[in-house]
Structure 1
């Protein structure tokens, strides 16, 4: 199998903003060099503003205990009781808007990563890590195109911004990084993950290294799986990548119950990845 097909050969657009909240220049963060030689990442202020939470985590003997601490902390700080995830009754008999939660965003992402929930998640990556999305309902070659306008409209919708949703995602990322370093991949800088695709519409070809090894610019947030057999279900072309643990936003085993449980899914910050391509 040869990678030609429909991979874009147009010059890749600007990767993102000049600044971000993780202290690594955005072009470097997006680069193949970073993905092959990463450094730990931390969103500014998260640990400082949530010291009690991370103290609880350090006292957790297992990942299950840590997940319970995370659930209780998020419920207390953001008032995320089950009835508030969708709708809740008002005392006057009407219905008030649900309190937005990270779980609701995952639910929408699981159905369609080009959904409004997907736009909010991509917007969070843009805000915190500085990376522009490269695809939302269509390729985004530059600001001002229709896909960019759709993305901006959906990511800024008040529907999902009524409960400090970006702050929720900040804490979730901090918890994910803590769990990877403590329980899942201690001492490891990378995980080998797979992604199945049928075409390359959502991926920009940056460089061909070998016949079946290429550098692809991934969207600023992208799904992988830790099981190659699962990747087979999503496309005939299988992309195998070494993903920095620092770029993992969420993974299936992090929480006991969540909408992405069935596919051993990893949500990963994008950029330029050298990937091996094989055919199912």
Structure 2
């Protein structure tokens, strides 16, 4: 959706230290190797993904969620649990100490807000770093294409993803819970939800200025392509909204298990981009059309 999220430009031979030579790390925390998770075959026949230990460690949260009658009540239960567990305030700004002074504590809400404002900011790097560690997928873009490990682009990403300002207060665990809550919310099956509870995928859109701004894996014809997307990417559920970000529209089926966040799961928060979905990347088969 955002041009700044665009992965690598296509073509060219790969060097031994090239990120294009790899799909991801050998290990991750979801039990499906990155070599499988990143493929179009996985997207066509997805498996359930669980971040190791998250639901078991926080079983009381999901037991409480199972008892709520409405999506709004579920959001309140989740927000309350996160506030109590991680000492968060609902205004994105951190927490207040016993002396009444404001303390900055890294918050998943602050990261989401930062991503939606500018996914190339430090908040975006932290989120991409979380996706890398949990799903094993390597980033392909942060401020610029990341083509090699031994590059300025990789070093910049590495420095920002471990920023002490945002990388405290168990931020990775917060994001683990956000992902698992998102998956629970979808499977719960609410009236007026954007997808059925048993759906395997949802049709989403992304606006781009040209297909070649992505790394093209395959181009069977002018209307179809297989693209390698960044390890965390933005899509829209509305075609018209996606069209605001480029002359071409990429349309694809995104597996439900690759959805990390969308606004419906936290309806009381004024996030920008109402139709925006935060999606785990990899190789996607897309249809290409002019807006």
1:8 aligned residue: 10
Partner of 1:27: 35
Unaligned runs of 5+ in 2: 1-7, 15-19
Structure 1 ranges of 4+ moved more than 6 A? none
Aligned residue number for residue 175 of structure 2: 169
Task: Name which of structure 1's ranges 80-89 and 170-179 shifts more when overlaid on structure 2.
Answer: 80-89
What's the counterpart of residue 106 of structure 1?
A: 112
Corresponding residue for residue 78 of structure 2: 70
User: Is 1:179 aligned to 2:181, yes or no?
Assistant: no
Q: Alignment RMSD, CA only?
A: 1.9
Structure 1: runs of 5+ lacking an equivalent: 1-5
Distance in 1 between residues matched to 2:91 and 2:109, nearest whole Å:
13
- Distance verdict in 2 for CA 1:202–1:148, change over 3 Å: farther
Specify which of 107, 118, 126 is matched with residue 124 of structure 2: 118
Tell me how far 1:203 sits from its aligned partner.
Answer: 2.0
Counterpart for residue 263 of structure 2: 252
Q: Which moved more, 1:56-65 or 1:168-177?
A: 56-65
State whether residues 13 and 142 of structure 1, in contact with CA within 8 Å, keep that contact through their aligned partners in structure 2.
no
* Residues in 2 aligned to 1:244 and 1:169: alpha-carbon distance in whole angstroms: 19
Q: Deviations over 1:208-259 (max 9, x none)?
A: 1222100000000000011101101111111001000000000121111335
Distance, in Å, in 2 between the alignment partners of 1:258 and 1:201 is: 36
How many angstroms does 1:24 deviate by? 0.4
The verdict on how the C-alpha distance between 1:107 and 1:201 changes in structure 2, with shifts beyond 3 A counting, is farther
Does 2:44 match 1:36? yes
Q: State the alpha-carbon separation in 1 of the partners of residues 160 and 238 from structure 2.
A: 31
The worse-fitting range, judged by mean Cα deviation, of 6-15 and 51-60 is 6-15
Distance in 1 between the 2:96 and 2:21 partners? 43
> Aligned pair in 2 of structure 1 residues 108, 83: CA closer, same or farther (>3 Å)?
closer
Q: Describe the SS at the equivalent of 2:21.
A: coil
